Amino acid sequence: MPHNSSETRIQDPFKPWKYLLSPPLKLNFVSPNFMKVLLAICIFTGFSFIYFSTFPGQKWRTATCPECEQPLLHSTYRRHTNIVSATAAGHGVIKTDISHILFGIGGSAETWGQRRRYCELWWKPNVTRGYVWLDEEPAKPWPETSPPYKVSEDTTRFKYTNWDGSRSAVRIARIVKESFELGLDDVRWFVMGDDDTVFFTENLVNLLNRYDYKQMYYIGGHSESVEQDMAHSYTMGYGGGGFAISYPLAAELVKILDGCIDRYAEFYGSDHKIESCINEIGVPVTREPGFHQMDIRGSPYGLLSAHPLAPLISLHHLDYLQPVFPGRNRVGSIKRLIHAYESDPGRVLQQSFCYDLTRNWSVSVSWGYNVQLYPFLVRAKDLSTPLQTFLTWGTWSQEPFTFNTRVLSLKPCERPIIYYFAGVDGSGSGKTLTWYRRPHPEQRRQCKGENYGAGYTVKGFNVSAALLDPGIWNKAPRRQCCEVMSGGDRVDGVVQVRIRGCNQQESVTPP
Ligand SMILES: *[C@@H]1O[C@H](CO)[C@@H](O)[C@H](O)[C@H]1NC(C)=O
Ligand SMILES: *[C@@H]1O[C@H](CO)[C@@H](O)[C@H](O)[C@H]1NC(C)=O
Ligand SMILES: *[C@@H]1O[C@H](CO)[C@@H](O)[C@H](O)[C@H]1NC(C)=O
């Protein structure tokens, strides 16, 4: 049936330029909308200026950093073993492990040389299963550290009528079908991702274990930018954040996919086509907030410091964002985060916060990423609301997002003092010690207030926590509590924080 989206666009004067911007690197510079784009760029540049002048440490983040490019060692990566479980999936069933997942990564021969930097951070040769699907045979020898590749079937016979997108969407949409038709043994889940998606596979495995792979599931996350959800869909698993399709659903999907791709010929993205075809089967997306499409521009700091209460599953668009850690390049930053993740996968980016009432301090920990110290009392709801250090994806606007944000003040006396993850000792039995330090050199404008003076004497935080039991996600969700231990910082300027499960009647409530 023909779709009337061109009519809709004519009726809504704002839609065309949102469409224009949805693939931001394919701007049409002869369009009359160019001025709007220019305006957006100016706003973004202004924002960046403010950002850099208040985070001057970020200026040298692009400086060469040779140690950042060393290959990541996976020595601490725990091998998965088939454990007979008695959990959600049923009694006496072999638990889903990494070997049951077949990854399908949408790539292209031309860009793989760049994109493999991200994929190879999480891909474990001979452990993870799957393929990068290319548009043509690669010209260079294929790297051993990359997932094996396959060349997609020809898709010229399919219809693609989106005026703004790329035909490759058809090819990428068919990856799930081509993967299914390989007929590989013991595949329970097909997980799709982009070539610049970083998966946190241990968390992904634990997450999929919460769902019965014998039923039809479609699991993913949406876009952070409302304009993207409007232009594409609110109800799909975004391809960059990645999504998972259970075997029985894939089996039904492949039967209708080819015809369906033609029916939704005007849809821009492969993920939108997949959602539409799954919709014909009647299966909605199961939304998991740990899949991160990362449709934002600027710094991910605010978002990652107040992560939702859910395991981290994926990150995307890292080449379009400022590096996660100041003073490190993009890839080096993700390596650092993975270093923390490997010591306690479920806990990475989990937020806990608590007060030190002897000094009226608020301390917020995003485990494995940073500690934020406010030398005054901040309400819990504010601490758990992301600081807006980013703009929307398509139009680089201040809003709206699919979650609430709070303004990051430009006044030094209203901003948190930030300490970044610097190391982890995970050798303790069932426990970790992570430490967080202020970036050097600290160039940011400082607050002259007495309370900040006391805050600045803190050189770092040492945070202890028990390994997070993945079983916690099967229970009613509750943020974990923390406490600031007294004493230590008077000696060497390091404050001790302990993260633990909350007591029955505990809350983060100021006196
Ligand atoms: C993966 O397995 C193949 C075949 O068994 C072997 O030749 C290769 O060295 C292995 N690669 C790694 C990184 O273990
Ligand atoms: C903390 O704040 C409360 C309320 O503003 C105040 O009464 C108290 O004296 C403060 N305590 C310290 C140690 O500053
Ligand atoms: C904090 O952790 C670091 C790194 O393990 C350690 O050297 C230091 O002694 C610890 N500081 C305190 C006060 O425990």
Work out the number of other CB atoms within 10 angstroms of the CB of residue 112: 20
- pLDDT for position 124: 97
Distance CA 145, CA 116 (A): 9
Could you count the other beta carbons within 10 Å of the beta carbon of residue 503? 8
**308: Cβ below 6 Å to ligand 3?**
no
- Summarize pLDDT for 50-60 with one digit per residue, the tens: 443 333 332 22
* Burial class (CB within 10 angstroms; exposed 0-12, middle 13-18, buried 19+) of 346: buried
User: What mean pLDDT do residues 317-339 have?
Assistant: 96
CA-derived radius of gyration, the chain: 23
Residue whose CA is closest, atom 1 of ligand 2?
A: 360
For residue 375, report the distance from its CA to the centre of ligand 2, in Å.
11
Which pLDDT belongs to residue 445?
A: 84
Mean pLDDT value of segment 219-247: 96
Whether residue 360 has its Cβ less than 6 Å from ligand 2: yes
**Which ranges of 160-223 does DSSP label H, i.e. alpha helix?**
168-173, 175-180, 201-209
The torsion angle over the Cα atoms of residues 331, 194, 38 and 299, rounded to 10 degrees, is -40
- Cα–Cα dist 417/67, whole Å: 27
Q: Which protein residue's CA is at the shortest distance from atom 1 of ligand 3?
A: 462
Ligand 2 atom closest to 360 (CA): 1
**Residue 129 confidence (pLDDT) above 90:** yes
Q: Estimate the crossing angle of helix 247-263 against helix 270-281, to 10 degrees.
A: 110
The answer to which of 40-44, 136-140, 449-453, 471-475 has the lowest mean pLDDT is 40-44
Cα of 490 from ligand 3 centre, angstroms? 13
C-alpha to C-alpha distance for 225 and 400, rounded to whole angstroms: 6
Q: Whose CA is nearest to atom 4 of ligand 3?
A: 435
Residue closest via CA to ligand 2's atom 3 equals: 360
pLDDT at residue 111 is higher than 80: yes
Residue 34 and residue 40 in contact, taking contact as beta carbons nearer than 8 Å: no
Fold of 66-287: Spore Coat Polysaccharide Biosynthesis Protein SpsA; Chain A (3.90.550)
| Cβ atoms of residues 350 and 364 within 8 Å | no
Contact present, 101 and 188 (Cβ < 8 Å) = yes
Supply the pLDDT for residue 102: 98
Residue 455 scores a pLDDT above 90: yes
Please give the distance, rounded to the nearest whole angstrom, from the Cα atom of residue 508 to the centre of ligand 3: 26
DSSP for 238-307 reads -TTT-EEEEHHHHHHHHHHHHHHHHHTTT-S-HHHHHHHHHHHHTPPPEE-TT-----EEE-SHHHHHT-
Asked whether the predicted pLDDT for residue 66 surpasses 60, the reply is: no
What span, in angstroms and rounded, lies between the C-alpha atoms of 307 and 454? 28
Residue 74 has pLDDT above 90, yes or no: no
Query: What is the mean predicted confidence (pLDDT) over 277-290?
Result: 98
- With a CB cutoff of 8 Å and minimum separation 6, the contacts of 316 are 194, 196, 197, 198, 240, 241, 242, 292, 293, 294
Q: Where in the chain is the domain with CATH 3.90.550.50?
A: 66-287
Phi, psi of 327 (to 5 degrees): 80, 5
Q: Which atom of ligand 3 is nearest to the CA of 435?
A: 2
**Burial, 181: exposed, middle or buried (Cβ in 10 Å; 0-12, 13-18, 19+)?**
exposed
Distance 435 CA to ligand 3 centre (A): 8
Is residue 331 exposed (0-12), middle (13-18) or buried (19+ Cβ within 10 Å)? buried
Cα of 188 vs centre of ligand 1, distance in Å, is 23
Best residue among 120, 124, 126, 145 to mutate for probing ligand 1's pocket (most ligand atoms within 8 Å of CB) is 126
CA–centroid distance, residue 355 to ligand 2 (Å)? 12
Q: Please determine, for residue 49, whether its predicted confidence score (pLDDT) is greater than 90.
A: no
Q: Is 451's C-beta closer than 6 angstroms to any atom of ligand 2?
A: no
pLDDT tens for each residue of 175-201: 999 999 999 999 999 999 999 999 999
Closest Cα partner for 303 from 414, 402, 169, 439?
402
Cα 403 from Cα 275, distance rounded (Å): 22
Q: Which of 4-8, 252-256, 265-269 has the weakest average pLDDT?
A: 4-8
Dist. CA 218–CA 220, nearest whole Å: 7
Q: Residue 333 contacts by C-beta under 8 Å, 6 or more apart in sequence?
A: 323, 324, 325
**Distance in angstroms (rounded) separating the CA atoms of residues 276 and 226:** 19
pLDDT for 73 equals: 32
Average model confidence (pLDDT) across the chain: 85
- Measured distance CA(503)–CA(467) in Å, rounded: 18
Q: Average of pLDDT values for 35-46?
A: 47
Reply yes or no on whether the pLDDT at 70 is more than 60: no
279 lines ligand 2 (CB under 6 A): no
Contact 265, 352 (CB under 8 A): no
**Is the CB of 488 inside a 6 Å radius of any atom of ligand 3?**
yes
- Tell me if 126 CB under 6 Å of ligand 1: yes
> Is the pLDDT at 48 greater than 70, yes or no?
no
CB-neighbour burial class of residue 358 (10 A; exposed 0-12, middle 13-18, buried 19+)? exposed
Prior bond to 400 cis, omega within 30?
yes
Q: Which of 355, 358, 360, 378 to probe ligand 2 with, by most ligand atoms within 8 A of CB? A: 360
> Residue 462 Cα, ligand 3 centroid: separation in angstroms?
6
pLDDT tens digit sequence for 474-507: 999 999 999 999 766 666 899 999 999 999 999 9
User: Which ligand 3 atom is nearest residue 425's CA?
Assistant: 5
- % of residues, the chain, pLDDT over 70: 80
Which atom in ligand 1 lies closest to the alpha carbon of residue 145?
Answer: 13
Ligand lying nearest the CA atom of residue 493? 3
Mutate to test the pocket of ligand 3, among 371, 432, 435, 497 (most ligand atoms within 8 A of CB): 435
Q: Does 16 sit behind a cis peptide bond, omega within 30 degrees of 0 on the bond before it?
A: no
> How would you classify the pairing of strands 431-437 and 460-466?
antiparallel
DSSP strands (E only) in 69-119: 84-87, 90-94, 101-106
Q: In the structure, what pLDDT confidence band is assigned to residue 26 with cuts at 50, 70 and 90?
A: very low
- C-beta of 314 in contact with ligand 3 (< 6 A): no
